[in-house]
Structure formats: structure tokens, C-alpha cells
Amino acid sequence: MKPEVASYGSWRSPITTDLMTARTIGLGQIALDGEDIYWSELRPSELGRTVVVRQTANHQIQDVIPTPFNVRTRVHEYGGSSFLVVDGTVYFSNFTDQRLYRQDVGSEPQAITPEAAIRYADYVFDRQRQRIICVCEDHTVAEREAVNTVVSIGLEKDSQVQKLVSGNDFYASPRLSPDGSRLAWLTWNHPNMPWDGTQLWVGELKADGSLGNTQQVAGGLDESIFQPEWSPDGKLYFISDRTGWWNIYRWENGDIESLTEMKAEFGLSQWVLSTSTYAFESANRIICTYTQQGSWYLASLDTTTKQLEALATPYTDISSVHAAAGKVVFVGSSPTELRAIAQLNLTNGTLEVLRSASDVTIDAGYLALPQPIEYPTADGKTAYALFYPPKNHDYIAPEGEKPPLIVKSHGGPTAATSSSLSFSIQYWTSRGIAVLDVNYGGSTGYGREYRQRLNGQWGIVDVDDCVSGARYLVEQGKVDGDRLTISGGSAGGYTTLCALTFRNTFKAGASYYGVSDLEALARDTHKFESRYLDGLIGAYPQQRQIYQERSPINFTDRLACPVIFFQGLEDRVVPPNQTEAMVTAMRAKGVPVAYVPFAGEQHGFRQAQNIKRSLEAELYFYSRIFNFELAEPIEPVVIENL
């Protein structure tokens, strides 16, 4: 059938918000227990509830955790590693009360820990002493900062909680040696973030279960250690960026030995706990994943010869790697495939998809493939991004028309964008709107030096790279320079607001729970990020002037283009008062502005109705600002001052 001629933005698409929310789930943590495989599923259709699912050896799949339990921890606010499986019994953090529960087969979950303002995460099982070792975050004293420790917890209700390690600001990755005699863990202190500098420690477990003879193995203020793991034969492995790239190392008899020497990242920024990029198939074989130039690869590493051998998969984004004899299970995705739990047979190379994020199949004629681009940015440097041109085989644009562009600035800001299939990107491209997903300076995946470009320069380098990317595409003739927009969430929302306030490249923008007041962020945010800005901006309040100079809320007189704001009203990372102050200022100035708040949402939207509403409202907003007709009816959003 001959394509219909229609303006960019006006194309009808099968990639709807209903498809994205009702039939799409989030896939997260993986655990192996004998022949059974467990994973977590975030379900927008169940008000954002996370469930643990089990696949048995005979391929039967079933939910393990019943309604209304929600498997999610709030340690560091971002959580991660919220459940542990031991011989068919699941131990998990419940989101509502943050207590640790025990779920035996055929029984209702039973709380192990008492009711208190205490959170638990990053579990490991101490079989010898019949206890769980984990990270604990104590919020019981409201007047002080939360206290983080490593503790042990018995397996029954009201069991003793024993403090094992304390005294530092943060802890992560407690890992027990195979014989149960030694414990390894990571720790760091303010103002460092885990990707700045961490320390790897090891201690010996005494007869009473306490720790003794502790020693620092690696790390420091300027070395980031990631994912310590004991091999089956009792050797300690870890990932370090001591050469400028996160590579794999081994500690044995007091000596540290490098196993990979590549300009590649085998680790990543530890926003969530217990992120896994490698696992032991045996004592002599590690299955690992690493990234180069924005793509992830799976490989087999011989721990004796140090030979790295590629393992073929169809995926360009790989995470949550777990292995057992002869197999590896991981989360994989690609530009044409949504995230999936996949199992690779290491003997014959066969790949089996255990669970996909969606059962929806989209015709390739509606999918825009990412085009990796490098482009010049400020100070003669190079920035990286993925460009998605509009794609819908049912339509072509009128001759001579160029598409609008949405520049996406990812969160973190120490994070990275992904090349995997994202309906939230295809939603735009299939309607005729181009997308540039930017890995600005400060992003992970390009080495420590690139990551540190943002040190002291947040609100400058990231903005430069987003602006330069948009201008580069205009110069290449790929997009319409009069219809450039920028959109981002959290830290990406800050980049968005800075670009709209301090530059004149973009004609509109969308801020999802974005930072507008750096001083308020420094004063109000949670412990994990409370000193993050020391590195990104400078010490507060000593360098208060810089905070004021880079806060968009102080310069609304310079903001002359329309913005739509989305905000969760229970957000502790970026409290609603920041967004509301920005909206009030724009309202008073007479600049077109829309505000869409969501009750019950925190930092990032998890409920289907709110994900649907925010995307549709953003599209509606652009249609009004750029005067294009919508192919489908959308509930209007109130745009003041338009």
C-alpha cells in the first residue's frame, strides 16, 4: 500500500500508551536456586507492584509472592537486590513496611524483622550459621542522617540482628566465601559516590559470627571498586577502574592480578545494589559482559589463561548476569527486541528466552533503529549519542519538511542511555518525531576520564553536549531547527531546565521530576545523594554562589519558551516543591506552562495510568506548541499562558 503523506508528528502509530503499559513489564533481579530460576517483574498494570517469579526445572512459571506484597527495598532510595532464594524459600523486602519477610513454599509470607524505620537489602545466605547477611539502613532517629551498616539476621521471626560492620557512611555487596570463613564488602564515605571511590574490605568470621582481622584489599578515594565475588575455589575477584577503565582483577595471598586489560567497561555506576556484570560458571571460567562505544557484549573469561572469548547473542544491552555449570542467565535486549530474561547454553550455544518484557510484536516497519553518532562539542571535545530518525512505513512527510527533534537527557547524571528497544522512544519516532538520546560527558561506558568530565561542571558540560547534538543534526539537514525540544527526568530534568533557561537552542521542553533549585536539592535530598553535588558542583554552602548561578529557578526571566512539568507528589529525591516553584514563576511571567502532578508516585513513575498520561500529555503539549494535528484523540492538558 502506498504510504500516506502527512506532516511529521501527525502519523498514526500502533505503538500506543495502552500497549506500553498494559502489556509491558519491567524485568530486574535474577537468582538461581538449583535448577529453578527466579526473577523480579515490575508490573505497571498492578499499580507498579514488583513480584518474584519462578521457573521450575520443567519450565513451569508461576508467581511466588502473593498480593498485596510488593518486593522492593528503599535502601539508598533506589534499592536493588530486594530478595534472596535459599532451597526454595524466598526472603524479600516488602515495600510498604520495608520489613524482611520469609516466604516458604505453600505458606503466606511471615515477617522476620520487627516493625521499625529500618530497611534491608543486598542479601547473602550464611549456610554455616543459618542466617542472612545484608546491608541495613536505619531511619529510626528522624533528627539524624540514616545509619548504614552490614548486619546478620536469623531466619525466624524476632531472630537476633547482629551488627557486623559499621562506622562508614555506606556499605554494599557483602559477599561470603564458599567455606563461610571470610566476608568481603564495599564501603565508601561522603562526599564520594560509589563510582568515584570505594574500598574493598575482607574480614574473618569468628566462632560467634562476628568479624575479626579485617583488612582493606583495594580501592580508595580515587578508585572505584565494583562487584566483589568469591570464586568457587575461594579466590576474591572484583572490578576496578584503577587504569581508567573498569576491568576485572583477582586478589590472592595479598597480591592483586589483572585479568582483563581493555579500554572497555566491565562495570557500571552502582545506582542500585548488587548489580551483576559477571558470574562464575566454574572456578576456571567467568561469564562476563562489557561495553564499548555504547554496546554491550557477552564473553567467556578463562581465569587461568586470561583469554577472553566472545559469546554470540543477538543483544546489545546485557545485565544481571548469573551463571551455573553449563549455562548463563541474564537480561538482554537489542534495538529490535525488548528486555528479556534469557538463558544461554554454554555447551551448544542455544539461546532460550524465558520471559520477555512484552508479548507484543511490532512490525519492523514501525521501528526506528538507533544510529550511534559522535559529534564535536565544547572545548574541542567529542560527545556521543544515539540518533533515531522518524520511522513509520504507513507515512511519508510532505516534500521539503524536516522532522521535529526531541533531545533526551538521561538521569543520574552518572548513568548512560541504552540502545535497546524502548517503546518510550518508538512512541515518538513512529509518529514522525526524531529523537537524539545523548550520552553527555559524565555518562558511564566511556571510561573514568569521560565520566569525570562532569566534575564541577554539571549544568554546563551536559548542556553543551545536548545543545551541540541538536545543532549537529540541524547542520546535517536531518531535523527542523525551529522545532527542537529537550526532555529529561530527574538529573536529566535539570539538564533540560538549564538548556531551556541558559541557552536559546530549544523551542520547548518537558521536565520529569527535574531539579530546578540546586540549593534545595543540597538541603532536602536523601542520604545517598546528599553530598553528590560536592563533586558535580562544589561543596555547599561554601560555594553557594555557584549553586545559585546554576539554578534555573533563579533565572526564570531568561526562560522564554514553553515547558511542561511532570511530578510525583511523594518524591523524596526531587521533592515536589522544586517543580511547583518553577511552575509558579513561569505562570507569573506569562510563559506557556503546563503542570501534571501524580499522587502516590515517587521518583519515577510506576503506575500504568500515570505513565500513559505523562506521555500523551507531552505529545499533546508539543502538538499545541508546534501546531501539528494529532492522528488520535488525546485527553487535553491545561496549558497556561498559551
CA-based nearest residue to 423, from 14, 11, 6, 10: 14
Second CATH level (architecture) for the domain 362-626 = 3-Layer(aba) Sandwich (3.40)
> What pLDDT was estimated at residue 593?
97
> What pLDDT was estimated at residue 47?
85
Strand partners for 52? 40
> What pLDDT was estimated at residue 159?
80
> What pLDDT was estimated at residue 318?
97
Is residue 219 within a helix (H) or strand (E), and if so which, with residue range? strand 211-219
Q: Which residue has the higher pLDDT, 81 or 21?
A: 81
Give the mean pLDDT of 273-285: 97
> What pLDDT was estimated at residue 552?
94
Residue 538 burial by CB count (10 A; 0-12/13-18/19+): exposed, middle or buried?
A: middle
Who contacts 108 (Cβ-Cβ below 8 Å, separation ≥6)? 66
Give the mean pLDDT of 629-640: 95
CA-based nearest residue to 48, from 611, 609, 607: 607
> What pLDDT was estimated at residue 253?
87
Query: Domain ranges in the chain?
Result: 70-356, 362-626
Q: Are strands 4-5 and 395-396 parallel, antiparallel or unpaired?
A: parallel
> What pLDDT was estimated at residue 536?
97
CA-based nearest residue to 363, from 332, 334, 391, 331: 391
> Could you give the percent of the chain with pLDDT greater than 70?
100
Second CATH level (architecture) for the domain 70-356 = 6 Propeller (2.120)
**131: number of CA atoms within 13 Å, CB side?**
21
| Whether pLDDT at 573 is above 80 | no
Give the rounded distance of the alpha carbon of 239 from its chain centre. 19
The predicted-structure confidence for 616-634, as pLDDT tens digits, reads as follows 999 999 999 999 999 999 9
| Whether pLDDT at 22 is above 80 | no
| Whether pLDDT at 485 is above 80 | yes
> What pLDDT was estimated at residue 45?
84
> What pLDDT was estimated at residue 212?
94
Helices (H), 396-446: 423-429
70-356 and 362-626 share one fold: no
Plot region of 164 (φ>0 → left; ψ -120 to 50 → alpha; else → beta): alpha
What DSSP letter does each residue of 490-552 carry, written as one string?
A: THHHHHHHHHHHH-SS-SEEEEES----HHHHHHHS-GGGTTHHHHHT--TTTTHHHHHHT-G
Three-state SS for 332?
Answer: strand
The sheet with strand 182-188 has its strands ordered as 170-176, 182-188, 199-205, 211-219
Give the mean pLDDT of 402-428: 95
Alpha-carbon distance of 434 to 478, in angstroms, equals 9
Who contacts 428 (Cβ-Cβ below 8 Å, separation ≥6)? 388, 406, 434, 435, 619
CA-based nearest residue to 621, from 421, 406, 409, 434: 406
Is residue 333 within a helix (H) or strand (E), and if so which, with residue range? strand 327-334
pTM of this prediction?
0.93
Q: Which residue has the higher pLDDT, 565 or 159?
A: 565
Give the mean pLDDT of 448-463: 97
Structure confidence at residue 138 as a pLDDT band (50, 70, 90): very high
CA-based nearest residue to 15, from 616, 617, 607: 616
The predicted-structure confidence for 45-89, as pLDDT tens digits, reads as follows 898 899 999 999 999 999 999 999 999 999 999 999 999 999 999
Give the mean pLDDT of 303-307: 97
Q: Round the average pLDDT of the chain to a whole number and report it.
A: 95
> What pLDDT was estimated at residue 416?
94
Structure confidence at residue 106 as a pLDDT band (50, 70, 90): confident
> What pLDDT was estimated at residue 109?
96
| Whether pLDDT at 10 is above 90 | yes
**165: number of CA atoms within 13 Å, CB side?**
30
| Whether pLDDT at 575 is above 80 | yes
419-432 burial, b if ≥16 CB within 10 A, otherwise e? bbbbbebbbbbbbb
| Whether pLDDT at 1 is above 80 | no
| Whether pLDDT at 158 is above 90 | no
> What pLDDT was estimated at residue 53?
97
What DSSP letter does each residue of 340-397 carry, written as one string?
A: EEEEEETTT--EEEEEESB-----GGG-PPPEEEEEE-GGG-EEEEEEE----TTEEP
